[in-house]
Structure 1
Amino acid sequence: MIGRVLALAIGLFAGLAASQAPEFAQQYRQRIGGAIDELRRVVGTFDENARAEGLSREQAIARLSGQPDRLTQRQGPAMSEIVDRLERLERQRDAVANAGPFERLVVLARGFDGQLARATYLDYEPAWPATSEGLVIGGAGFLLGWGGFALLFRAFGRLRPGRWRQPPRKRLQSA
């Protein structure tokens, strides 16, 4: 009896925990959008300044990198990293937009941005699943948690039957 209750509790916990994956992914996708907007603003300002000097983005980055002043020199590689991150986030956003509901989680897990994932985790607010994706993944988590614990409990119960099970009671025979 206690094993069944414990298996049910573990299953419910596993289901609730698993159902949070789509919600975390949703909050992460929102952060991607915000990061892309901000990086576009920074790169756009840099491009405008480069054009005002008659330079392309690449020429402006090369010019910064070639300056004798170390602070200015570091701005070239820094801007190059910003441009690369913007392009990477835009590719990830597009891949997520083209993916199906369950495939989104795989796409995000494959190429997540460490800074965004950490910031999403720190600000994450759990939510009840309201999408089919969340309900299905939550149900799968429940089944895995409940079923896994139930199998484990049964396996240990069979190894030591005297410890986990009581012997059957004798029936009283009526006269």
Structure 2
Amino acid sequence: MSRIIAFIFGLLGAVGASQAPEFTQQYMQNLTGRVDELIRVVERFDEDAANSDMSRQEALDYCLADERPAGAMSCRGRADDIATYERRRQQLMALQDAGEWQRPIFLARNFDQEVFDSTRETYKPAVPTTMVGGGYALAGFAGLWGVISLILGIITAPFRRY
């Protein structure tokens, strides 16, 4: 009975892990769209700063020092946009530089919660047809089957007859 249970959990692991490459791909597409959206905001701010003979940081410092609450709030928003852009751009570059086998692992360790949630909401599981999807399915099966077999082996050991 424990072998059947371990096999069933192994299949569940295979199905779950096989989705990792496609989810990562959709996450990257979502992230790319968000980076593309923010680059326009950042470029516009940089252009305005350059027209005032200031660097980005100088313009932010000047703007944040504005004593008018509305001006400072607007600048904090721009500063947040720039920080978000830089963080997401770095993550996108790291994901693009990682090999397709490493991307899901990298994503599991380093993800943007907002992008992750958005991707998860629209993600539709599918049967993997790539080598990477098959590899992750095999690893998921072996991993979960092995863990469940070990746990059930430990639990049932006192009841075995030798």
Name the TM-score class by shorter chain: 0.7 to 0.9
Deviation at 1:52, TM superposition (A): 4.6
Deviations 1:71-107 (A, max 9, x none): 2112223212221221222222222222112222233
Larger CA deviation: 147-156 vs 17-26: 147-156
Matched with 1:11 is: 10
Matched with 2:95 is: 96
| TM-score normalized with structure 2 length | 0.84
Deviation at 1:17, TM superposition (A): 1.0
Deviation at 1:53, TM superposition (A): 4.7
Q: Which residue identity does 2:62 align to in structure 1?
A: R
- Residue identity (%): 34
Corresponding pairs, count: 161
* Distance of aligned partners of 1:107 and 1:144 in 2 relative to their CA distance in 1, 3 Å threshold: closer
Q: Which residue identity does 2:142 align to in structure 1?
A: L
Residues of 1 paired with 2:146 and 2:52: CA distance? 66
Deviations 1:84-134 (A, max 9, x none): 221222222222222112222233233322221222222222222222222
Q: Which residue identity does 2:134 align to in structure 1?
A: L
Q: Which residue identity does 2:56 align to in structure 1?
A: R
Runs of 5+ consecutive residues of structure 1 not aligned to the other structure: 163-175
Matched with 1:109 is: 108
| TM-score normalized with structure 1 length | 0.79
**Counterpart of 1:30 in 2: which secondary structure?**
helix
Runs of 5+ consecutive residues of structure 2 not aligned to the other structure: none
Deviation at 1:151, TM superposition (A): 3.1
Larger CA deviation: 44-53 vs 84-93: 44-53
Structure with larger Rg = 1
RMSD: 2.2
* Distance of aligned partners of 1:108 and 1:153 in 2 relative to their CA distance in 1, 3 Å threshold: closer
Residues of 2 paired with 1:67 and 1:119: CA distance? 35
Residues of 2 paired with 1:37 and 1:27: CA distance? 15
Residues of 2 paired with 1:44 and 1:140: CA distance? 43
Matched with 1:75 is: 74
Residues of 1 paired with 2:130 and 2:82: CA distance? 34
